[in-house]
Structure 1
Amino acid sequence: MKSLALAKEVINASLAGRLLSASRSRLASRLRGFLRLIRPVNSTMVGLAVVIGMLIASRGLLRVLTLDVVLPGFITGFTLSAAAMSINDYYDRDVDLINDPSRPIPSGVVKPVEALMVTVALCALGLAASLSLNVYCLILASLALAASITYATVGKTFGLPGNAMVSFCVALPFIYGGLALGNLDPVLLVFALMAFLANMGREVVKGIVDVVGDAARGIKTIAAVYGRAVAAYLATLFYLLAVSLSALPWLMGAVSVYYLPLVAVSDAGFIATSIKLLKDPSREKARQAKQEALVWMLIGLLAFALGTNLT
């Protein structure tokens, strides 16, 4: 009898251990799903762009960049970008069954209603953070949010104009950073335009990656309407336009010499990515080019930060 009782205890303990392990695994999977939903790398870059805009507007006077200014600025950029990612995945859940079934919603890791709840919470936090800075920041944040929602609901069906909506939101953080400090320095417009052009190129490349699902849904991307080769040439044009502006902040005397090495790496990266994409505008190469562009944009951000901070 003792042996039987001991065996039952061992079995129960084993079952409890397996259940606990399975529960932890599901929880970890859910957490990863929510992180993928908000794309933390992209959202962090937007938050950093706001801070860099503040650095530029402050002209390197770090004493004016107090935590009560920098933190709400970063939070606004991060949360509203994350909200845009979440709402976009919500409306893309059907087409993602074709383009990327491993995404959190089509894979079943995150429920559609949960994505909406996350979006609402992030929007509320981002707008509250912008209001804590000033009313102009709130207005600009609201415009960015409206553009993001418009893109997710109807804007993307228009192809290039939809790409422009997204790129507009990517460029705004630099302007937002200047508004937070009450100084719209002209070089902020240059950085914003560079970000706009670089992201336009990346959005066109994303159209190559998603061409099958987009065509099925009637989304008129350049790749879906004119073909992958034309999309590759247009993306390259946008990248080269962004690169052509990269020396302007230096010529304007707005950045230090420390800006040049990193921005040169970013420029070379965009050119190399463009060459590879022109040679082979396949979905696989486009997916690689899309990820590479994010790296070059991040290096460009670091160049802005380093050059401005040390001016």
Structure 2
Amino acid sequence: MRLLRPVNSVMVGLAVLVGAYLAEPNPSLWDIWGTALGFVTGFTLTGFSMVLNDYFDRDIDAVNEPGRPIPSGAVKPSGALVYAALLSAVGLTTSTLTGMGCFMLAALSTVLSIGYTSYGKRLGLIGNMMVSGCIAIPFLYGGLLVGNPRLSNLLAASTAFLSNTGREVTKGIVDLEGDRRFGVETVAVRYGCRRAAYVAAALYTSAVLLTPIPFFTGDATLGYLIAVAVTDLGFLYSSIRLLKDPSRSGARRVKNQVVAWMLLGLLAFTLLEF
């Protein structure tokens, strides 16, 4: 299960459901079977990308995270590869059962995952954006499941893209030693931890700046405003903490905090209709 990273996988599965809700706020009009398959697609394809990443990163993890399943010897590399193939097969199969548009988005996510883990991570910020594309897609995928994506789907996808790119840049600070040794050109490796912290903080702030849009379009509810205000304060707090302490330990704390803010952001978008 540690290879799968179930928290990440559940988050993406929930993002699919949030995307469906944003496109059609009345669940009684959903195809429940199709929506359930959408959750499975999001969950398994995220698990696939997590496992595949651990497979390709096994040498780097031996330096940065020696307790991970593969470098610790708990899982063989060949076993991880088989597991990844199984997860991708399940995810792509379930996507074909919900329409061609959904399959194309699932296939795009799979291609981005393979491209990132095999080579893209060496491209620095571009690689970070490839990962974030996989995080943004579920909000559009969910919209396609129940009809046509709306502006709120695009907004959720954009904020997820920006905040996760910031988290990936932050993660590059945490993984600096191993990344430098193995030629992974993260922002931290190329420009240093302090500049990477500024880039990450700018991305978090950019995500925050998008959140008032529903207020100006007349779509914001009181529940959304309250939840998104807490989320925004969380992102701004983490940005300040990272700028004050761009060390490995400081970045690790911020990286973990951001997961909580992203989960709260998911909740905020579900409250757009309440």
User: Which TM-score bucket, shorter chain as reference?
Assistant: over 0.9
- Confirm or deny that 1:84 pairs with 2:49: yes
1:207 to 164, 169, 172: 172
Q: Which amino acid aligns with 1:120?
A: A
- Confirm or deny that 1:279 pairs with 2:244: yes
Aligned residues, how many? 274
Mapping of residues 171-190 of structure 1, within 5 Å: 171-190=136-155
Comparing 196-205 and 297-306, the one that deviates more: 297-306
The Cα shift of 1:255 comes to 4.2
Comparing 147-156 and 110-119, the one that deviates more: 110-119
Mapping of residues 48-127 of structure 1, within 5 Å: 48-58=14-24, 60-127=25-92
Equivalent-residue separation in structure 1 for 2:108 and 2:219 (angstroms): 28
The Cα shift of 1:110 comes to 1.1
TM-score (norm. length: structure 2): 0.98
SS across alignment from 1:94: helix
- Confirm or deny that 1:245 pairs with 2:206: no
1:42 alignment counterpart: 8
2:117 to 152, 157, 164: 152
Equivalent-residue separation in structure 1 for 2:107 and 2:222 (angstroms): 36
The Cα shift of 1:195 comes to 0.5
The unaligned stretches of length 5 or more in structure 2 are none
The Cα shift of 1:51 comes to 0.5
1:299 alignment counterpart: 264
Equivalent-residue separation in structure 1 for 2:87 and 2:215 (angstroms): 36
State the superposition RMSD in angstroms.
1.0
If you compute each CA radius of gyration, which structure gives the higher value, 1 or 2? 1
CA deviations on 1:250-292 (whole Å, 9 max, x unpaired) are 3323342211111111111111111111111000010110000
The Cα shift of 1:62 comes to 1.7
The Cα shift of 1:305 comes to 1.5
Percent identity over paired residues: 49
Equivalent-residue separation in structure 2 for 1:130 and 1:299 (angstroms): 27
The Cα shift of 1:66 comes to 3.6
Q: Which amino acid aligns with 2:6?
A: P
SS across alignment from 1:303: helix
Comparing 236-245 and 116-125, the one that deviates more: 116-125
1:232 alignment counterpart: 197
Comparing 248-257 and 290-299, the one that deviates more: 248-257
Q: Which amino acid aligns with 1:47?
A: G
The unaligned stretches of length 5 or more in structure 1 are 1-34
